[in-house]
Amino acid sequence: MPRVKRGSKRNDRRKKILDRASGYFLTKSKLYQAAQEAVERGLKFAYSGRRQKKRQFRSLWIVRIGAAAKLHGLSYSQLIHGLKLAGVELDRKVLADIAVHDDAGFASLTQQAKQALNSAA
């Protein structure tokens, strides 16, 4: 079996890891093995962070909607329930944007929710 020295392939792989580790502290940016561990760890955090970002934005939207709903005399859960009964199919991202930027539009949505809650009761 022929001998394989792996020259350029190995160098390319190591260079890619060290490029990703540039800016890391001390040996983590200079020595291959330490850099490899640091890069893998960072990629793990990046993967989980992309999922956490979705959760964090949803909770931010809920807080914004709840605060705007309180100004119009409803709780968050009453507003969402009333909008469902009224057949308004807006997601929380859009509702939060309306709550922040369009007070008159959000007021009309809360009126729809209140009417739907009163007719259901």
pLDDT per residue as tens digits for the range 42-85: 999 999 999 999 999 999 999 999 999 999 999 999 999 999 99
- With respect to residue 115, please indicate whether it lies within any of the assigned structural domains: yes
- With respect to residue 90, please indicate whether it lies within any of the assigned structural domains: yes
Tokens of 46: 């990046």
Helix 76-86 × helix 32-71 angle, to 10°:
80
- Residue 94: its pLDDT value, please? 98
- With respect to residue 33, please indicate whether it lies within any of the assigned structural domains: yes
- With respect to residue 2, please indicate whether it lies within any of the assigned structural domains: no
| Secondary structure of residue 88 in the 3-state scheme | coil
State the chain's mean pLDDT as an integer: 96
- With respect to residue 3, please indicate whether it lies within any of the assigned structural domains: no
| Domain containing residue 90 | 8-120
Q: Which residues contact 114 (CB under 8 A, 6 or more apart)?
A: 73, 74, 82
Distance CA 41, CA 48 (A): 11
Q: Which residues contact 42 (CB under 8 A, 6 or more apart)?
A: 20
Distance CA 77, CA 12 (A): 55
Structurally, how many domains does the chain consist of?
A: 1
CA atoms within 13 A on the CB side of 70: 6
- Residue 5: its pLDDT value, please? 82
| Secondary structure of residue 87 in the 3-state scheme | coil
- With respect to residue 19, please indicate whether it lies within any of the assigned structural domains: yes
- With respect to residue 1, please indicate whether it lies within any of the assigned structural domains: no
Using the Cα atoms of residue 102, residue 76, residue 95 and residue 48 in order, give the sign of their dihedral. Answer: positive
CATH number, domain containing residue 89: 1.10.1900.20
Question: In one letter, which amino acid is 30?
Answer: K
Q: Does residue 95 carry a pLDDT above 90?
A: yes
